Amino acid sequence: MKPLEPCGVRLAGTGSAVPPQVLHNRDLERMMDTSDEWIAQRTGIRERRICDPTKEGTFTLGRDALVRALEASGMAGKDLDLVICGTCTGEMPCPSTACRIASEVGATPAAAFDLTAACCGFVYSMNVADSLIRSGRFRAVGVIGVDAMSTAIDYDDRSVSILFGDAAGAAVLVRDPDPTRGCIYQRMHADGAGWSNLYIPRRPQEVPEEDRDNPIKLGCLRMNGREVFRFAVTKFRETVEDALAGTGLGVDQIAQFVCHQSNQRIIEAAREKIGIPPEKMPVNIDRFGNSSAGSAGLLLDQLRRDGKFGVGDHVVLVAFGGGLTWASGVWRI
């Protein structure tokens, strides 16, 4: 068999979707013992978007984001040969959300699968898609990062609910003859020993002894906020520094650092330590909260549409989250 030609990957288009319903901090004040001031100070969040569960969710948000990414790329669903959906809130364990989205956008018989890496869902999926295109097995991939976290939140609890919102981001990646284009450096890691710092138990036996008194309902997200915060601040900085060292690129050679919107304090702490100017590490957490796998793709789409990066620019994607997982990808657009 003839050996495959080396190739690169082109970001052909991006898209995003959020539900119209806004849940402001002031709404949460009426639902639980919290305040707009406490939430804004501790997280940078003012409001987030929440699905109407009767007609919206992970599937509809992911589908709408991919439709917009296809429109932006001037392509049709039938042009895709693979759809990857990074999510941890898929409506059904079977079929995958990706299968339903692929069918809705007309991508049949493209391969389709979900990828579970919690808040790293989009960055992991982008890295996997780039690798599969470079392997020569796939030519055009629809990548989605989406979570409807409101479906896994106990709104009687103030420790976790204030942080999360619902959103989707998507990208269309296409084989390109230039091997220097696409994801030029990537890292994906996990440490399952820390799983119980961020988890969604379905049955009582899944709850560790030390968390049995936690009043959060089964089926809803539980988080050891302080522990995750500690992990995130260190890992986030290390992951960005590793991406710069691994590519030999300086901060001045990166157009945008597109980070999972976990908590503004986490992002700011890393940004200041590394010495990245604020305009290169933008945040939208004030308006959309932490949307888990949705956040990096949503921000990437907003930045692309605002013209914050273009062909030839370097963009760094970074995320960390449940698993525990952390990942980066350095893209030459």
Minimum CB separation from ligand UT7 for residue 57, in Å? 19
**Count of residues in contact with ligand UT7, rule CB under 6 A:** 19
Non-local (6+) Cβ contacts of 93 within 8 A are none
Contact segment (CB under 6 A) with ligand UT7 among 91-99, 146-154, 220-228, 235-243 equals: 220-228
CA dihedral 129, 135, 138, 140 (to 10 degrees): 50
Tell me which stretch binds ligand UT7 (CB under 6 A): 11-19, 95-103, 129-137, 156-164.
Answer: 156-164
- In this complex, which beta carbon is closest to ligand UT7, that of residue 225 or of residue 282? 225
229 binds ligand UT7 (CB under 6 A): yes
Catalytic positions, please?
A: 119, 260, 290
Return all residues near 195 (Cβ < 8 A) that are at least 6 apart.
322, 323, 324
Rule CB under 6 A: which of 74-133 touch ligand UT7?
A: 119
Near ligand UT7 in 42-71, by CB under 6 A = 42-43
Gap between the Cα atoms of 103 and 61, Å rounded: 15
290 interacts with ligand UT7 by CB under 6 A? yes
Q: Which residue is nearest to ligand UT7 (CB)?
A: 225
Q: Where are the alpha helices (DSSP H) in the chain?
A: 25-31, 36-43, 58-73, 97-104, 121-134, 158-161, 225-247, 264-274, 285-288, 295-305
Q: In this complex, which beta carbon is closest to ligand UT7, that of residue 230 or of residue 305?
A: 230
Which range of residues in 7-15, 37-45, 98-106, 272-280 is near ligand UT7 by CB under 6 A?
37-45
Measured at the CA of 99, the angle between CA 110 and CA 96, to 5 degrees, comes to: 140
Q: How far is CA 70 from CA 10, 180, 327, in A?
A: 13, 23, 25
Q: Which residues bind ligand UT7 (CB under 6 A)?
A: 34, 38, 42-43, 119, 158-159, 162-163, 225-226, 228-229, 232, 262-263, 266, 290, 321
